[in-house]
Amino acid sequence: MAKLKWGMIGGGQGSQIGPAHRLGALADGLFEMTAGALDVDPERGRAFAMSLGVAEDRAYANWQEMLEGERKRDDRVDLVTVATPNNTHFEITKAFLEAGFHVLCEKPMTMTVEEGEEIVRTARASGKVCAVNYCYSAYPMVRQMKAMVAAGEIGRVRSIVANFSHGHHAAGDDAENPRVRWRYDPAQAGISGQMADCGIHALHLATFITGDEIEKLSADFASTVEGRQLEDDAMVNFRMSGGTVGRLWSSSIALGRQHGLDIQIFGETGGFRWASEQPNQVYYHKLGGRVEIMEKGEAGLGEDAQRLSRVAIAHPEGFPLAVANIYVDLAARIAGKDEGNLPTAEDGLRSMASVYAAVASARDGSAWVDARPPMFR
């Protein structure tokens, strides 16, 4: 089967997420890197793209040039990944969808709920795949928890406790660091800092594993570093469509925590505990039994967990391969196969609605706010 042609916008040299996309997209021989506008600095971006093997005429100075260049080619790229700072996602994603390209957009998909709705409409009208990189949902053992919840193995889910709290923005001098600065600048990050940067990953996991929506929430936000315009610590209570009670703590000043994404799911007859820093294991407690550790690669796991596990039991299989799993499911969707677990524009929109609800709630003394996107109410 011919490889799909892949282009990337953002994710330049030294960026945080760029390497994970390159490792992920190229891991399974499904895509080849064909074009790129990788950096806000045109020359640096072109040089870096060529160093990765992109032909000189497809190493573009910026995304507009890439759009013009690729749309007129017979051998145009099939998929474009958008891995730039948040404030550029909407216009780039919309423009490429409208021009007939499949798009994988980084989270948060947009800066506003209205833009999120516009992307959902554009994707639906274009007939192209628009995925959002909620890559934690593609870890084999997260798929295992989802399959077991769907099979009723822990009964109705009563409660979820999720954290995405790290300490990497605890230093006040990070205003000097360009990779951190934009995350707290409303012009580049939007109305939310930590909640939009990390909290939405944990909320997506809650909806992904249960299959339920977040209906309403109540939030308390704080900017604990002096001078920071957006929140760096958020506590969110939420309620889901299946009646599940949810708690989320998301912080970027939590010194002592590294990556800090973990989730506990408590059902009527069983519970799970999973942490992204030990992604190969799920702690599983069946009512009346002992706590078991389920291990990626062991016999008896669900089909999806087995399909997305590449190396033998007990060997680490980390973040880039979770991103690779997003690309595997994307390639399947592009080929017209029903890959139901791929996070899409609808998920990106739901996240924006949660972020806006959380900001509104925090500004209104933690009042409960409807967290559903208007177009899905």
Binding site for ligand NAD (CB under 6 A): 9-12, 15-18, 37, 39-40, 62-63, 83-86, 88, 106-107, 133, 135, 179, 197
Q: Tell me how far, at minimum, the Cβ of 89 lies from ligand NAD, in Å.
A: 6
- Comparing CA positions, the residue from 169, 187, 170 lying closest to residue 179 is 169
Q: Tell me how far, at minimum, the Cβ of 18 lies from ligand NAD, in Å.
A: 6
Sequence-ordered alpha helix ranges (H) in the chain:
18-26, 42-51, 63-71, 89-98, 113-126, 140-150, 178-181, 186-189, 194, 200-210, 303-307, 319-334, 345-363
User: Of 301 and 342, which CB lies nearer to ligand NAD in the complex structure?
Assistant: 342
User: Of 35 and 148, which CB lies nearer to ligand NAD in the complex structure?
Assistant: 35
User: Of 31 and 63, which CB lies nearer to ligand NAD in the complex structure?
Assistant: 63
Cβ contact 124:292 at 8 Å? no
Give CB contacts under 8 A, 24+ apart, made by 364-371.
366/218, 366/219, 366/220, 367/218, 368/216, 368/217, 368/218, 369/216, 369/217, 369/218, 370/215, 370/216, 371/214, 371/215, 371/216, 371/217, 371/238
- Comparing CA positions, the residue from 181, 153, 121, 176 lying closest to residue 282 is 153
3-state helix, strand, coil in the chain (%, to 5): 40, 25, 35
User: Of 83 and 254, which CB lies nearer to ligand NAD in the complex structure?
Assistant: 83
Q: Cα(119)–Cα(183) distance, rounded to whole angstroms?
A: 22
- Comparing CA positions, the residue from 281, 283, 300 lying closest to residue 292 is 283
Q: Cα(114)–Cα(190) distance, rounded to whole angstroms?
A: 13
- Comparing CA positions, the residue from 152, 149, 138 lying closest to residue 305 is 138
Q: Tell me how far, at minimum, the Cβ of 52 lies from ligand NAD, in Å.
A: 13
Q: Tell me how far, at minimum, the Cβ of 263 lies from ligand NAD, in Å.
A: 15
Q: Tell me how far, at minimum, the Cβ of 39 lies from ligand NAD, in Å.
A: 4
User: Of 115 and 215, which CB lies nearer to ligand NAD in the complex structure?
Assistant: 115
User: Of 83 and 141, which CB lies nearer to ligand NAD in the complex structure?
Assistant: 83
Cβ contact 79:103 at 8 Å? yes
User: What Cα–Cα distance (Å) separates residue 147 from each residue in 205, 210, 241, 267, 355?
Assistant: 13, 9, 19, 14, 27
User: Of 230 and 294, which CB lies nearer to ligand NAD in the complex structure?
Assistant: 230
Residue nearest to ligand NAD as judged by C-beta position: 12
User: Of 135 and 353, which CB lies nearer to ligand NAD in the complex structure?
Assistant: 135
Which residue's structure tokens are 């249960």?
A: 210
Q: Tell me how far, at minimum, the Cβ of 44 lies from ligand NAD, in Å.
A: 7
Q: Tell me how far, at minimum, the Cβ of 364 lies from ligand NAD, in Å.
A: 26
Q: Tell me how far, at minimum, the Cβ of 241 lies from ligand NAD, in Å.
A: 25
Q: Tell me how far, at minimum, the Cβ of 373 lies from ligand NAD, in Å.
A: 20
User: Of 97 and 157, which CB lies nearer to ligand NAD in the complex structure?
Assistant: 97
Cβ contact 308:325 at 8 Å? yes
